[in-house]
């Protein structure tokens, strides 16, 4: 049985590659554009923002699966500073730099 283990691993990797290729190329395979209702097309415009919020928001307000016990957490102030920078300048790079500088400043300077 030990001699077939590399073959099973290779078969599993090939199978996952085929499934990944098919699922990612699903919208590229048809020859004509698939009809999408207007309400679904409108809803899909908000999907990237919803996914981003779903990933980032828990990282800001939770620590080890629990809500932050105090307002003295550098993540809150860094997120607020980044949001203010984006509101003021509308630049992604500046938002990241501003949030990171506030986070590092509070963690290194105040030990938060």
Confidence band of 89 (pLDDT split at 50, 70, 90): very high
In a domain, 87, yes or no: yes
In the predicted structure, residue 1 carries a pLDDT above the cut 80: no
Q: What is the mean pLDDT of residues 58-75?
A: 92
Overall domain count for the chain: 1
In a domain, 58, yes or no: yes
In a domain, 35, yes or no: yes
End-to-end CA distance of the chain: 54
pTM of full prediction above 0.85? no
In the predicted structure, residue 33 carries a pLDDT above the cut 90: no
In a domain, 38, yes or no: yes
The domain in which residue 98 lies consists of 6-64+71-110
In a domain, 43, yes or no: yes
In a domain, 1, yes or no: no
Q: What is the mean pLDDT of residues 91-108?
A: 96
How far CA 81 is from CA of 51, 59, 94, 101, 111, in Å, comes to 21, 16, 11, 9, 18
Residue 88's pLDDT is 96
């Amino acid at each position: 049985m030990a001699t077939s283990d590399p073959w099973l691993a290779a078969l599993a990797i090939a199978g996952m590659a085929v499934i990944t290729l098919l699922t990612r190329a699903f919208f590229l395979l048809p020859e004509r554009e698939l009809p999408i209702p207007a309400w679904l097309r409108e809803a899909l415009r908000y999907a990237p923002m919803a996914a981003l919020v779903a990933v980032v928001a828990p990282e800001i307000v939770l620590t080890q699966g629990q809500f932050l016990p105090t307002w003295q957490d550098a993540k809150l102030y860094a997120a607020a500073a980044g949001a203010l920078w984006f509101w003021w300048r509308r630049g992604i790079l500046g938002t990241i730099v501003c949030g990171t500088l506030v986070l590092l400043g509070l963690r290194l300077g105040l030990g938060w």
